C-alpha cells in the first residue's frame, strides 16, 4: 500500500465515521464503497477492517454521548441479526472462493438499492409494526452484515419509518452493528480468513474514528435529518456505481 493509498483509506474512514455519527448507519457501506471504488484493498479485507472499526465507532459514540438501551426493542433485533450473520459468513466464504467479481457486483447493487430505499421511504407509521417485522428486518440486516459487514440498510429502512425517537433509533443501530461486527470477526478469524494486515490498518484508523466522534460530540452540525440522508445517499450512489462499473469492466 502506497502513501497515497493509505491516506485515501484514512480519509474514507473519516468520512464514513462522520456520516455514521450523524445518521446511525452508513459507516460500513461508505467505507467499503469508497475502498472498492478506489481499489484500495480486496473487499474481504475491507469488510474485516470495517468490522473492527464498527466496534471502535460504537465505543466512541457511547463514550462521548449519553446512551440508554431499549432492550424490549433490542432483543428480537439482536437475536435475528446474529442468526443472519451466521448465514452471511457462510455465503461470503463461498463467494470469496468462487466469485470475487460477483462479490464486488453484489456489494455495488446492495449499496445502490439501500440508498434508493432510504430516499423513497414513506412517512412514519402511526403505530409500531411489532416483533415479526423486527425479526424479519433483523435477519436480513444480519445477512448483509455477514457478507459485507454492512448490517444497516434493512433495519435503517424499517426503524426510520417507526414512530420512534431518532435518538433511540440511532442507539439501537449502534448496538446491532457492534454485536454483528463482534460475531462476524469471531467467525471469520475462526475460519482462518482474517488477514493480519486488516488488523494493522484498523489500528491506524482508530484515532481517526475516535477523533471524529469526539469532535462531533462537541460540535454537532446544524443540519436537518433529510439533508443528511440526501448527502449520505449521494455518496452511497457514487460508491455503488463505481463498484458496479469496476466489476463489469474486470468481468
Among 61, 64, 72, 75, smallest CA distance to 20 is for 61
d(CA 217, CA 186): 30
pLDDT at site 122 = 56
- Structural domain harbouring 160: 3-250
Angle at 160 between CA 159 and CA 162, to 5 degrees: 60
Look at the chain and report how many structural domains it folds into: 1
d(CA 27, CA 58): 11
d(CA 249, CA 251): 5
- What string of pLDDT tens digits covers the 251 residues of the chain? 788 899 999 999 998 888 877 776 777 778 887 887 788 888 778 888 888 888 887 887 787 777 777 888 889 999 999 999 999 888 877 776 666 677 778 777 877 877 777 677 656 677 888 889 999 999 988 887 787 767 777 787 788 778 887 778 878 888 888 898 889 888 888 877 777 888 899 999 989 988 888 888 888 777 776 776 677 677 777 767 876 876 776 65
Amino acid at each position: 500500500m502506497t502513501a497515497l493509498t493509505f491516506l485515501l483509506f484514512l480519509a474514507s474512514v473519516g468520512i464514513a465515521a462522520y456520516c455514521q455519527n450523524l445518521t446511525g448507519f452508513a459507516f460500513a457501506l461508505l467505507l467499503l464503497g469508497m475502498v472498492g471504488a478506489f481499489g484500495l484493498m480486496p473487499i474481504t479485507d475491507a469488510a474485516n477492517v470495517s468490522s473492527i472499526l464498527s466496534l471502535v465507532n460504537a465505543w466512541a459514540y457511547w463514550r462521548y454521548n449519553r446512551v440508554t438501551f431499549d432492550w424490549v426493542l433490542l432483543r428480537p433485533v439482536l437475536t435475528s441479526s446474529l442468526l443472519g450473520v451466521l448465514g452471511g459468513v457462510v455465503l461470503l466464504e463461498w463467494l470469496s472462493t468462487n466469485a470475487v467479481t460477483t462479490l464486488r457486483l453484489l456489494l455495488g447493487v446492495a449499496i445502490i438499492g439501500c440508498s434508493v430505499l432510504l430516499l423513497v421511504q414513506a412517512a412514519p407509521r402511526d403505530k409500531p409494526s411489532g416483533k415479526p417485522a423486527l425479526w424479519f428486518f433483523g435477519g436480513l440486516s444480519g445477512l448483509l452484515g455477514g457478507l459485507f459487514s454492512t448490517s444497516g440498510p434493512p433495519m435503517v429502512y424499517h426503524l426510520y419509518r417507526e414512530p420512534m425517537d431518532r435518538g433511540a433509533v440511532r442507539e439501537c443501530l449502534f448496538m446491532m452493528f457492534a454485536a454483528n461486527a463482534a460475531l462476524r470477526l469471531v467467525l471469520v478469524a475462526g475460519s482462518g480468513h482474517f488477514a493480519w494486515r486488516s488488523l494493522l490498518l484498523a489500528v491506524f484508523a482508530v484515532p481517526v474514528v475516535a477523533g471524529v466522534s469526539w469532535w462531533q460530540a462537541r460540535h454537532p452540525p446544524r443540519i436537518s435529518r433529510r439533508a443528511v440522508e440526501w448527502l449520505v445517499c449521494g455518496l452511497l450512489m457514487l460508491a455503488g456505481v463505481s463498484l458496479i462499473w469496476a466489476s463489469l469492466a474486470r468481468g
